Amino acid sequence: MNDQSPNAKKRVTVVDVARRAGVSPGTVSNAISGKRKVDQETRRRIDAAIADLGYMPNLAARGMRTGRANTIAVFSSMPTAVAAGASKLGFLMEVAASAAEAALQHNMALVLIPPIEDPAAVFQATPLDGAILLEPASNDPVLSLLRARAVPTVVVGDTGDAGIPCIRLDYRAMGDLLIDHLLDAGARSILLVAGSRARRSNETFAEVYRARMARAGLPVRILEVSEINAEAGAEAAIAAEIVGAVPFDGVLVPIDAMATGVMAALRAAGLTVPGDVRVVTRYDGLRARSESPPLTALDLHLDAVAKAATAELLSLIEGSSPVSSSLVPAPYLRRRGSSTVGD
Amino acid sequence: MNDQSPNAKKRVTVVDVARRAGVSPGTVSNAISGKRKVDQETRRRIDAAIADLGYMPNLAARGMRTGRANTIAVFSSMPTAVAAGASKLGFLMEVAASAAEAALQHNMALVLIPPIEDPAAVFQATPLDGAILLEPASNDPVLSLLRARAVPTVVVGDTGDAGIPCIRLDYRAMGDLLIDHLLDAGARSILLVAGSRARRSNETFAEVYRARMARAGLPVRILEVSEINAEAGAEAAIAAEIVGAVPFDGVLVPIDAMATGVMAALRAAGLTVPGDVRVVTRYDGLRARSESPPLTALDLHLDAVAKAATAELLSLIEGSSPVSSSLVPAPYLRRRGSSTVGD
DNA sequence: CAGTTTCAGTAAAACGATTTAATGATCCAT
DNA sequence: ATGGATCATTAAATCGTTTTACTGAAACTG
């Protein structure tokens, strides 16, 4: 419905251009795509004809013939509750924005797939050349879906599976950075509030946390919270912990939605932050920044991550290069009021 | 590239399904689309064949035949500097997220068009059934582009032109709310820091501001700042104003990137917020929330706006309903530290 | 019962590009 | 001058759907 008005003349096609330039449609196609050589002079005439007639290629027709859609998608795998609400603008959107820009530079469009119940529905709507998948869980249904349909996919995060192209997020470094900081800030009894779903980030954070606590001779206290209804779950868990006999003075809560819940529970109990308890989270998004005090968090350089993922995906689609294990900048600690008094 | 492996059998097509179900391709098409009646029993056989063969329609082929792409786009019209940087997650992303969700429920995909130099490039990449355009300027090039290509378009914001379907943002109400609040907070010498580009929001804010100041018998002081390099521009403008003889105690700065600049200038001059100066902005995004103190701003109900815009656009594409002038909830004031001490 | 409507289905014609195989030129080296 | 190469071009096939125009058969109608 892109072009014709009710009383419309027919769409301008490659045939019209060919006629006007005095060549065959095939030659026009070659001139446009540059796939074969066409004579200087001929090309000039074709360009003129295109300009005169205002020709615009029909992308659907091209796509049908070439099998390419010029489209990639960004999927979020997180359950709705985590990604939605006030921070619908989270991780997904930040990555999507940069990826869209990068994609457009290669004449590709980026379609946005927010968390939905039935990801398969996407294939009813739009053809895809490839997909970027954010932080899939262990047996992520979206990942299965993409593999089943043989859609070239780049994962952002970390999969156990080495067979899947991946822009690696260094969860270990993140954990170290945040725990170091909590210790520096004087915390000596540190809680980890972790998502219960099998997901690489959850596992690695727990691992690092255990190791660091062991090394420092501090107790390990992990609260597992379901990622569905993350905020309320975390709030309840912390509330219960406060009632318990053993006090704590630091909380590492990687998932920002849970951090909101943690802060609410602390406030409700009359505990001060960072006085009584220091709190740190992972993703420096809307939630982290709009807490009071704002939460210490990590700059994950998501724009660089997104660009790397896009580049990787495009080369994967072209089929050419095997895979460059692109390096992205290390996470950087953003100190904020939730864990520091000075600055 | 959606399906075939190197040693691949050919794609399963509607012809294969037809053969297996013992009918003609046309009937299969009718069964799938529901456009014509097909017998109960026949439909059953077709469904079975589809399931057995794992048939998935080729969307490019369908699109070529029907002229529909099942795709809509969200365009941001703002100059890069405003929408990019730390708040790439702004307005655009918030609207896009909700619109994507709404679109998918109608089997439409949403492609994301971040601000780019050459918006026309989009048409090299993907066909569009329609577009949502955010807050276009007066002679917005993107809007011209969309009209020239006869792409059904819904504007979010306000155009002078009544001929264009529009989800109206009530700039007047926004201005009133913010100015009321500044007055309530005791401000008596209020600056307006406004974008210089001809844009409905800029004009209306200025209009409301003038009217309110006149009514209250207060002086009108408008600083016009270019939207290119908004942050630094606003900072410089405020710095200059501070040096000037006439003090001020309130700033209305609708564009959030400029608000960041304003805050920086105030900080640099040693003025306290909200003690010496109250500051309010319009869009309650990342920037507003991560200032210190966080900025009083408006909840614009962008999710509702996005859903309304999507619905409007879809009906516009269907061609059926003329246009429902959908109503969106009124803006709501979010009081924060930049203008209030109590709460 | 002849005449009209429905009904369910079919065969074939689009849709608009790209790609394949074939065709003359033109050029080069023997 | 003959037999290749190389070059620019073309005619025709092709991609996988949807849609159009037709067709019998069955079901009404009066």
pLDDT digits (tens, 9 = 90+) for A76-96: 876 554 545 545 567 888 999
Closest C1' nucleotide to A36's CA: D8
- List the beta bridge partners of residue A340: none
- Which bases along strand D come within 7 Å of a protein CB atom? 7-12, 14-21
Instruction: Inform me whether the pLDDT recorded for A275 exceeds 90.
Output: yes
Among B60, B89, B290, beta carbon nearest to A69: B60
pLDDT given for residue A142 in this prediction: 93
Contact B93 A97 (CB under 8 A): yes
Contact A112 B107 (CB under 8 A): no
Angle, to 10 degrees, between the axis of helix B171-184 and the axis of helix B200-216? 40
Average of pLDDT values for B301-328?
85
Closest CA to B190 of B274, B275, B249: B249
Query: D3 C1' – B13 CA distance, angstroms?
Result: 47
CA distances from A99 to A103, A105, A134, A310, B22 (A): 6, 10, 12, 6, 46
* Closest alpha carbon within chain A to B150: A3
Q: What residues contact residue A184 under an 8 Å CB cut-off, 6+ apart?
A: none
Residues A40/A19, Cβ–Cβ less than 8 Å: no
Q: In A, which residues are within 8 Å of B8 by CB distance?
A: none
Torsion over CA of B189, B195, B197 and B201, rounded to 10 degrees?
-80
Contact B88 A303 (CB under 8 A): yes
Contact B125 A107 (CB under 8 A): yes
Among A5, A100, A125, beta carbon nearest to B109: A125
Residues A306/A102, Cβ–Cβ less than 8 Å: yes
pLDDT given for residue B331 in this prediction: 97
Structure tokens at A138: 């262990």
Contact A110 B111 (CB under 8 A): yes
Among A56, A126, A152, beta carbon nearest to B71: A126
Residue B144: how many other CB atoms lie within 10 Å: 12
Residues A51/A250, Cβ–Cβ less than 8 Å: no
- Which bases along strand C come within 7 Å of a protein CB atom? 7-12, 14-21
Query: C17 C1' – A26 CA distance, angstroms?
Result: 9
Instruction: Inform me whether the pLDDT recorded for A206 exceeds 60.
Output: yes
pLDDT given for residue A159 in this prediction: 81
* Closest alpha carbon within chain A to B66: A1
Residues A46/A38, Cβ–Cβ less than 8 Å: yes
Confidence of residue A162 (pLDDT cuts 50, 70, 90): confident
pLDDT given for residue B229 in this prediction: 86
pTM, 2 dp = 0.91
pLDDT given for residue A91 in this prediction: 84
Q: In B, which residues are within 8 Å of A152 by CB distance?
A: 1
Query: D8 C1' – A68 CA distance, angstroms?
Result: 27
Whole-number mean pLDDT of chain A? 90
pLDDT given for residue B322 in this prediction: 54
pLDDT given for residue A305 in this prediction: 96
